[in-house]
Chain A
Amino acid sequence: MTVSDAVSTDPLQPQSAEQAEAIHVWNLHKRFGALEVLKGVSMTARDGDVVALIGGSGSGKSTFLRCINFLENPTSGVIRINGEDIEMVSDGAGGQYPANRRQIERIRSRLGMVFQNFNLWQHMTLLQNVIEVPVHVLGMKRDEAIAIGEQLLERVGLSAKRDVYPAYLSGGQQQRGAIARALAIQPRVMLFDEPTSALDPELVGEVLKVIGDLAKEGRTMLLVTHEMKFAREVASHVMYLHNGIVEEEGPPEELFGSPKSERLKQFIRTVS
């Protein structure tokens, strides 16, 4: 799964024909008490890949995404990020948790997550939101972070709003700000969890445009979305999740053009 037309300018992303693995997940299981939400999901995302996760409500898409940066602890399975295996220890009750908090924090600080509800920090201006992690987690110099932050805000069309608090911004503006915050950490992979689901219909376009541009420039991303048309446009690989397993996956043309499983056929009919 490599993007054919992508030209990466990111120094973090090697240009070799066989791109390096950014995220490798194998046989991931996750249960909440008696409820098994993920039943052995595997996935590999190489640099430049745009993997779209689609599926019905409750199929486990968010849970899968949240396991990747350990906002949820997977019950079992292998997760390798930037070629680094995450060590887990058993909690003695059938679950496991990361052995090394520092390792998780380091890995998280290279995965730019964008949430459905934006989750900008309300007590900080937009620019402060964008430079917070570079300065306080990654130890970047403030001046440098501000310079980068201003560029990023310009990119997402929010230069004029740099000193505005999130509560005074529209949903679309907040989400574009949240994307700038994610970009500010120079993420190896960006994780999007339904980035447009909380938006009024007329604001969806501006956010999709920003994400689409990122995909075009070769950003590696994992995208949970209900926007099928958009997934078809930007994704290099699509995974259809149903009841915690990957029911079908492949390039978007195949998956949407000639779906094999009955469920996927029906899913595509109902959402489009």
Chain B
Amino acid sequence: MADGSIIPEAVWQTLALLSPSPPGWGGNLLRGLLHSLQIALGAFGMGLIIGTLGAYGKLYGSPLVRDLAGIYTTIVRAVPELVLILLLYYAGTDLINRTLEMAGYQRIDVSGLVAGIVVLGFVQGAYATEVLRGAIKAIPFGEIEAARAYGMSPTLMMRRITLPSMLPYALPGLANLWLIATKDTALLAVVGFSELTLETRQAAGTTKAYFLFFIAAGALYLLITLFSNVLVARIEKWARRGMPSIREARS
């Protein structure tokens, strides 16, 4: 850098490591971030679907369905996530390949992205089941009864009444789950999936600029959270459109 700059040459050289194009490692970090976000979004979405089915199963299902849903949520929430990820990832891909071989097909390479989404989605689904079950139970009973009394079919009622009514009660829990999903993607580093944390570790290991890269990764995770908070606040405002604000009620 030009003489007289207050920032020493060495600092610039270090920061240049973050450049998005080689020899900088910034591109790798951003690619890792993208992968993390893809997995988090996919897993969260899958968790929502499983969670909705699980919540309905637990609330309205036959005894068998209720038991199955209960076993699922209990086990998934009891076992450490890291163990579940290792188990589901290795055992899961192994099971798929064995089945394929037995059926006379070729082994396949399960894509890390799909495996990551399925594994984390399976974990998220258990927590989402409980969040959504609680939220559905919080809906004033009369609103459901009115929907029944006016001839809504179960699916119409779910779409038009139950899901929108429970949203305000579910959102805080779901927002937590989303943030957990973004960070749980880091656990996939153990199965060699190149998400943000693994990319960061590689960049840091190669350049020895540990501090720089982990701070950078931390900043990226923080950005995700800050952006999510803004988004959640908006969704929450919309979901609570029919409810007077708590603050108004206090004054």
Query: How far does the alpha carbon of A79 sit from the alpha carbon of B153 in the complex, in Å?
Result: 21
Q: Is the CB of B242 within 8 A of A124?
A: yes
Which chain A residue has the least Cβ–Cβ distance from B149?
A113
Q: With an 8 A cutoff between CB atoms, is B142 at the interface?
A: yes
Which chain A residue has the least Cβ–Cβ distance from B147?
A121
Q: Is the CB of B241 within 8 A of A165?
A: yes
* Stretch of A8-16, A32-40, A52-60, A131-139 with 4 or more beta carbons under 8 angstroms from chain B: A131-139
Q: With an 8 A cutoff between CB atoms, is A117 at the interface?
A: yes
Chain A contacts of B239 at CB under 8 A? 123
Q: With an 8 A cutoff between CB atoms, is A170 at the interface?
A: no
Q: With an 8 A cutoff between CB atoms, is B63 at the interface?
A: no
Which listed residue, B150, B161, B167, B244, touches A113 by the CB 8 Å rule? Answer: B150
Q: Is the CB of B146 within 8 A of A122?
A: no
Which chain B residue has the least Cβ–Cβ distance from A108?
B151
Q: Is the CB of A119 within 8 A of B146?
A: yes
Q: With an 8 A cutoff between CB atoms, is A185 at the interface?
A: yes
Nearest-Cβ distance from residue B201 to partner chain A, whole angstroms:
46
Which listed residue, B146, B153, B243, touches A121 by the CB 8 Å rule? Answer: B146
Q: Is the CB of A69 within 8 A of B149?
A: yes
Interface residues of B, dominant DSSP: helix
Q: With an 8 A cutoff between CB atoms, is B165 at the interface?
A: yes
Nearest-Cβ distance from residue A210 to partner chain B, whole angstroms:
18
Interface size class of A (residues with CB under 8 A): 20 to 34
Which listed residue, A101, A125, A133, A167, touches B150 by the CB 8 Å rule? Answer: A133
Interface size class of B (residues with CB under 8 A): 20 to 34
- Taking A107-B151, A133-B151 as contacts, is the C-beta distance between A123 and B241 under 8 angstroms? yes
Q: Is the CB of B244 within 8 A of A137?
A: no
Nearest-Cβ distance from residue A154 to partner chain B, whole angstroms:
22
Query: Could you tell me which residues of chain A, from 5 to 62, have a CB within 8 Å of some CB in chain B?
Result: none
Chain A contacts of B243 at CB under 8 A? 122, 165, 167
Q: Is the CB of B149 within 8 A of A122?
A: no
Q: With an 8 A cutoff between CB atoms, is B109 at the interface?
A: no
Which chain B residue has the least Cβ–Cβ distance from A125?
B242
Q: Is the CB of B143 within 8 A of A121?
A: yes
Nearest-Cβ distance from residue A260 to partner chain B, whole angstroms:
35
Q: Is the CB of A109 within 8 A of B146?
A: no
Chain A contacts of B150 at CB under 8 A? 108-109, 113, 132-133, 137, 185
Chain A positions near chain B (C-beta within 8 angstroms): 69, 71, 101, 104-111, 113, 115, 117-125, 132-133, 136-137, 165-168, 185
Chain B positions near chain A (C-beta within 8 angstroms): 140, 142-143, 145-153, 156, 160-161, 164-165, 167, 239, 241-244
In the assembled complex, 29 residue pairs joining A and B whose CB atoms fall closer than 8 Å, in A order, are A105-B151, A106-B151, A108-B149, A109-B151, A113-B149, A113-B150, A115-B142, A117-B142, A119-B140, A119-B143, A119-B145, A120-B146, A122-B143, A122-B165, A123-B167, A123-B239, A123-B242, A124-B242, A125-B242, A132-B160, A136-B152, A136-B156, A136-B160, A165-B241, A165-B242, A166-B242, A167-B242, A168-B244, A185-B150
